[in-house]
Amino acid sequence: MQKVKSYMEKSRRDLVKWAVKKAEEYLESAHSNIQAGRSFPAAEEIFRAVEVSLEAFLYHFGVRKIEYPGTVKKFTGRLALQFLIRDNLVHLGRLSRNDYDKYLALASELHLASYQPNKTFLIKELKEDARFAEELLAKVKSITSV
């Protein structure tokens, strides 16, 4: 029993480390895109950094897969992630409602932009969003000790 528990803890730590590393890579790419004036790719990378930081948080608190039970079949992907964040982080006080709202706003803005061929993101706003992503990642790192 102890071996199984130890393996599960190691596996969870590995998932957290992987997610934190991915978030750092996305942020680095976002900053490169901002410097090059590529606003849409920068926005996408910033959102991915936020998303995967929140995944790291979920893994740290015991979520093993990004899936959510539904009445007919399980939800997967970004919708499941939103539900898991709401239920496991926000409702339990592990993530502030403001941070969750900012995450949803980024998701909505990026989603809507995909339907607007001429949509651009302002560099000033992208820099603010990147700062939010960096602060969130720092919070995740401090809590998960990664």
pTM summary value: 0.90
Q: What is the model's pLDDT at position 4?
A: 45
Instruction: Provide the token pair at 51.
Output: 């998303």
Chain-wide mean pLDDT for the chain?
A: 92
CA distance 128 to 112: 19
Instruction: Provide the token pair at 68.
Output: 């959510």
Instruction: Provide the token pair at 67.
Output: 């899936």
2-144 has which CATH code?
1.20.120.330
Q: Looking at this protein, which amino acid is placed at residue 58?
A: L
